[in-house]
Amino acid sequence: MESTFEIVKEVVKEVLKIDGDDITLETRFIEDLKADSMDQFFLIDGFCERFDIDISDEAARSIQTVGDAVRAIDEVAK
């Protein structure tokens, strides 16, 4: 079974169309991966679809790093 981190990494690679082999929990979406607001929308949408969850707008606004996404997903998926 894949870890949440590995699945998040796959979604990031698909949405941003990047290699992504150097993505870590500390990787920042905007500063490190150059994601814009539309990319962020598609990332959240991708996470929700892949994990079959709903992430609130409030929670989505707090997701700045890959680690933030992993924690938010794990919290909702409990």
* pLDDT averaged over 10-residue windows placed end to end, the chain, 78 residues: 93 97 97 97 98 95 97 92
> What residues pair up with 28 in beta bridges, in sequence order?
65
State the pLDDT at residue 2: 84
State the pLDDT at residue 78: 77
- What is the rounded distance in angstroms from the CA atom of residue 77 to the CA atom of residue 7? 13
State the pLDDT at residue 3: 96
What are the residue boundaries of the structural domains of the chain, listed by start? 4-76
Tokens of 23: 């993505």
Q: Which CATH architecture has domain 4-76?
A: Orthogonal Bundle (1.10)
